[in-house]
Amino acid sequence: MENKTMSTSFQSEAKDFNKEMKLTQNTAYEPVVKTDTSTEEAMYLDLLDYSDYQLPKANVKDRIIVLLDFRNGSNGIRRCRREGDSAGCRSNIFQTNGISYSQICGKVVGYQKGSTDAGYANINDINDAYIDGVSITRGSPRRHVWSYIAGLRSKINGVSTCPCNNGTTNTIQSFVGEHYYCESGTNSELSNTKVYTTDPLWDGNNCPSVEASCCNGTGLMWFFRDYGNATITDYIELRVCGIAGWGNEDTPVQLYEIYVK
């Protein structure tokens, strides 16, 4: 498999989109779903921490639409895990309330728990747990938007490591294509009871050895999709997935934000 690098067209789209989001404080976005009940300043705090985007705080339509900012948990780093202890995906659906869009962007902040196994090339159904990580789709039937994948370890190649690793023979599903990020949260021996909070996934940092090629994408941890002249009103769905139960693995999420335009 060739090393995964973001396509030239994707880099151009991300660059243009980044410029467009650097708006004055007089321009604003309309929150459609905001499950964080604190102030708007707190809502945007993590976004400003992880990027140089300058988001305004008022409510005006027709720009980037905030779909979600969900944070929960305790013990220092707040995070959410899959409900229950069984394998599979746990889903949240976010309605766009009739808003039409042709672009989607966002980010996910998550962590590796236990023995995450990256992607499962033999599972070719988007409705199944085809990755260990976070799957973002739109509409019904589900259409893939982006996958955030948790690999096993950073310094080895094997059946459970990222498909973007140098020298790997692992592949990714055709419906995912190049629209994914994959990273591991540890370089050492694994413990199924540990959440590796010292190395957040998908941020492009701490990617030694064979995993280095997974961390050279433009805009990590942000994703961006442009559907051209399409007029889309699909809801957005975010699923946290795992082929095994909590006792073996999970990808707890600290924050996720999704925007449409």
The pLDDT tens digits for 205-248 are 988 888 999 998 778 889 999 999 999 999 999 999 999 998 89
Confirm whether 1 is domain-assigned. no
pLDDT reported for residue 115: 92
Confirm whether 174 is domain-assigned. yes
Confirm whether 248 is domain-assigned. yes
Confirm whether 2 is domain-assigned. no
Residue 26: domain span: 8-260
For residue 224, give both structure tokens.
């961006």
The number of folded domains in the chain is: 1
Looking at residues 114-120, what average pLDDT do you find? 90
Backbone angles phi, psi at 160, to 5 degrees: -110, 10
Mean pLDDT of the residues in the chain: 74
Beta-bridge mates of residue 113: 195, 250
pLDDT reported for residue 169: 85
Confirm whether 3 is domain-assigned. no
Confirm whether 39 is domain-assigned. yes
Confirm whether 43 is domain-assigned. yes
Q: Is the pLDDT of residue 109 over 70?
A: yes
Confirm whether 30 is domain-assigned. yes
Instruction: Determine the Cα–Cα distance for residues 234 and 209; give it in Å rounded to an integer.
Output: 40
- Share of residues in the chain with pLDDT > 90 (%): 36
